[in-house]
Structure 1
Amino acid sequence: MSSERRGQIEAVVRGAVPYEQGLDALAVAPAGEVDPALFAAVTEAGARLWRGGWQPAELHRVVVRRGGTDRPVLGRVVTDAVAAHLRGFARRDVDERWCAQAEALDATVWWRADATYASELAARHRLDRVSALDDLLSLLVVLAELPPIEVLVPPPGTAPRPRAGGRQAGGTAVDEKLLERVRALLAKAESTGYPAEAETYTAKAQELIARHSIDEALVARRDGPDAAVVPFARRIGVDHPYESEKASLLSAVAAANRCHTVWSPDYGFTTVFGFDADIDAVDLLYTSLLVQAGRAMARDEPPGGKAGRARLKAFRQSFLVAYAVRIGERLGRAAEAALDAAPEAADLLPVLRSRDEQVRETMQRVFPRTVRGRGSRVDSREGWESGREAADRAAL
């Protein structure tokens, strides 16, 4: 591999050479020297980020966000970098969650040789050679700007051996059959056009989630302080548009389920801190409620068009703010009712307080300095009122 080409690529990525000048130089250089160097630079950048805490789905999301609709190939190249990285590890040495994200992205080695990847990429996506080089070089610039983040899932090659009956090292066993039942109930709630049916399905799902979480706390109380149950964190993607308002909804759902959140707008995800069963509840409920909110908002919103675009945007933002506030109130009351109805409810309170302290300590260790976010503006009274009404109708 030509060290000269690697030097040219690194100079463009660092900004030492103007981007267009660097791209032109690579475009006229021999493909047999440029292509292997570009692919190696992409895989090395990916490996650095995997070691630095990034997971496949997260890196794919942030690259797609920054690349925009004008560069759809960038996300595909990230997926290929995942596949290339996994070639160096046996399946048993890769965490199940890492594998699941790679499979969800359909990360497979489809190209014949690394040295010809750029040419094969151009042919696969019907690009001319300069456009393919431009995409690869642009991706390298994006990857170089990303810092290390907290390692929440062990990168390939460092996965701990799973404990018998456990979901992950240090975690507790989660009944996958129960989660499947919850997912099925929420899917029915999202698909039905009848609010009463949706409420029945989702209320049953919430009941199952709350019961499992309370049972886990009771087990922790019986096992005593030496029980190997520690809080974890999970990053949940929050997508355009109205991502700040969606992050507020996620925060409200998390708070009702004894979790804490930190929103990272630059990267498009919220880190949710809590115990496994509670984070599962947050993930499932947030996804379902977001679907229900979107359906209600589309039904109630005013007509758009050029003249009504500003009104429509204000309506949607105000709708989602009100929806998040009202859902938080409803979920909070539902959580209190579930706790009051639980056996040994009085004995549970000290356990829940202790677990909350553990979660807070974990969050503060990962994010020692956070800034309280500004509240979203409410510029549409009809959007606010519609959002609260939709939250009242939402199935919990």
Structure 2
Amino acid sequence: MGSTRTYIREEDLGAQALLDELSRAYERGWQPADVLHVTARSGDLSDVPLGAAAVLFDAHRSRAEHRAPDGWLRQIRSVADRHPPLAALATRIPPGDRGPLFGAALQHALPEVTRFQVTGLAFTWKYLPRFTVLAPPPSRWPSLRTADDTGGAPDPRILDRIRGLLSKAESTDFPEEAETLSAKAQELVTRYAVSAALLAGGDDASGIRGVRLHLDNPYAREKVLLLTAIGSANRARTVWFAKLGIATVVGGDVELRQIEVLFESLLVQATRAMTAAGTGGRAGGGATAFRRAFLAGYADRIGERLREADARATVDAAADAHMPVTTLAPILARRSEAVDDEFRRLFPATRSTRTRTVDAEGWHAGRGAAENACLTSPSMPGPR
């Protein structure tokens, strides 16, 4: 039988107020990864483990493991992986505890934490504004999650293979090898997504939702350009909240998971290529302008390559499904329209922005580097 460790309450750190503000933030549309992202951006990195402890304890007391939507649960597990001692601490506190034992346990796990720091973080969370609700908050979770609550995410085995291919692409020193892996990735992503759309049986809005990705400086705006290019090629829409450093991508479940994986890998490849390119002999502000232009050019060319690969794969997917492409195209068009409808519902007041004037040499250097980027998604089988 398991045992529950007893913590003696030494000082009231105000932990209950912190947990209360976290719960209220969730009800206003924030999710665990969002809260910790803005906490890290607040300037005091010592707040991050404190925030993580609160998130993990709250997940334990709300029985998130058995009740939360799949995307929410992935966020909790990611936090636990980054903070193993805090995750262990959370599970040793009885789920029914409303704060006192959590406050005492904090003093053992994070002895430097003060009441001033706890109340300061609670104050920060208190004034988080309303955010678009992308997933049900804990108050709306079922008593027990069912299979239908896990969404239409791709087969984990497929994602594992995608990650394996991308890992090879990120580690190779040979552009030709990355190029060989390259366009096949998006083609295989498209085939898988088309199969999922056909299996939806004409339910064009099936599995369409939004997910948030958190981007940090430097060059956050240019990173969003890359994310937007990847999303657009996969029938998804992207909106950027610059003040928060958060992008929301709206699309189908299958596409969203693969967009995340592709973006993570292509960002690694873009950063490596940018570092290898140097600064074109510039220094100071000129070097910054060159790098921004490099990443913008990289994103532009990646978008072109992904769309080209998607077009080829759509033809192949139609052949696999034994239907003319003229029959498949309207199905995918209706799917895109459903994504647009959901995007407008979630974000009725957005505006488009244009890329600023950029360093021409950096732009073309970035486009050239994108020619050697591997677009392979880590979970798809290789070409036959």
* TM-score of the two chains, using structure 1 as the length reference: 0.80
Aligned length: 349
Corresponding residue number in structure 2 for 1:96 = 70
Q: 1:189 aligns with which of 127, 144, 169?
A: 169
Q: Which of 83-92 and 187-196 deviates more?
A: 83-92
Change (3 A) 1:167 1:143: closer
Residues 165-244 of structure 1: matches in 2 within 5 Å?
168=150, 171-172=151-152, 174-220=154-200, 223-225=201-203, 229-244=206-221
Residue 291 (structure 1) shift:
0.6
Residues 263-274 of structure 1: matches in 2 within 5 Å?
263-274=240-251
Structure 1: runs of 5+ lacking an equivalent = 1-31
Change (3 A) 1:233 1:81: same
Change (3 A) 1:197 1:93: same
Corresponding residue number in structure 2 for 1:73 = 46
Contact 1:98–1:155 (Cα < 8 Å) also in 2: no
Provide the C-alpha distance between the structure 2 equivalents of 1:89 and 1:119, rounded to a whole number of angstroms: 19
Q: Secondary structure at the match of 2:89?
A: coil
Provide the C-alpha distance between the structure 1 equivalents of 2:372 and 2:365, rounded to a whole number of angstroms: 11
Corresponding residue number in structure 2 for 1:58 = 34
The yes-or-no answer on 1:47 pairing with 2:23 is yes
The yes-or-no answer on 1:149 pairing with 2:124 is no
Greater C-alpha Rg: 1
Provide the C-alpha distance between the structure 1 equivalents of 2:280 and 2:338, rounded to a whole number of angstroms: 48
Residues 13-32 of structure 1: matches in 2 within 5 Å?
none
The yes-or-no answer on 1:384 pairing with 2:360 is no
The yes-or-no answer on 1:259 pairing with 2:219 is no
Higher relative contact order, chain-length normalized (CA < 8 Å, sep 6+)? 2
Change (3 A) 1:268 1:182: same
Residue 228 (structure 1) shift:
7.4
Change (3 A) 1:173 1:252: closer
List per-residue Cα deviations over 1:119-171 (Å, max 9, x = no partner): 875775564x7xx334323322321221222222333353356554x573xx4
Q: Secondary structure at the match of 1:104?
A: helix
Change (3 A) 1:81 1:124: closer
Q: Secondary structure at the match of 1:35?
A: coil
List per-residue Cα deviations over 1:272-310 (Å, max 9, x = no partner): 111111112211111111111000000011389xx9222
Q: 1:340 aligns with which of 308, 315, 322?
A: 315
Change (3 A) 1:303 1:338: closer
The yes-or-no answer on 1:276 pairing with 2:290 is no
Q: Which of 179-188 and 337-346 deviates more?
A: 337-346
Residues 360-379 of structure 1: matches in 2 within 5 Å?
360-378=340-358
Structure 2: runs of 5+ lacking an equivalent = 1-8, 81-85, 94-98, 376-384
* One-letter amino acid of the counterpart of residue 370, structure 2: A
Contact 2:293–2:363 (Cα < 8 Å) also in 1: yes
* One-letter amino acid of the counterpart of residue 235, structure 2: R
Contact 1:316–1:383 (Cα < 8 Å) also in 2: yes
List per-residue Cα deviations over 1:179-202 (Å, max 9, x = no partner): 211111111111111112222334
Corresponding residue number in structure 2 for 1:29 = none
Contact 2:152–2:253 (Cα < 8 Å) also in 1: yes
Contact 2:183–2:305 (Cα < 8 Å) also in 1: no
Provide the C-alpha distance between the structure 2 equivalents of 1:162 and 1:126, rounded to a whole number of angstroms: 36
Corresponding residue number in structure 2 for 1:135 = 117
Provide the C-alpha distance between the structure 2 equivalents of 1:348 and 1:95, rounded to a whole number of angstroms: 31
Residue 64 (structure 1) shift:
0.3
List per-residue Cα deviations over 1:101-120 (Å, max 9, x = no partner): 12211252638985486687
The yes-or-no answer on 1:108 pairing with 2:91 is no
Q: Secondary structure at the match of 1:383?
A: helix
- The percentage of aligned residue pairs carrying the same residue is 36
* One-letter amino acid of the counterpart of residue 46, structure 2: V
Corresponding residue number in structure 2 for 1:24 = none
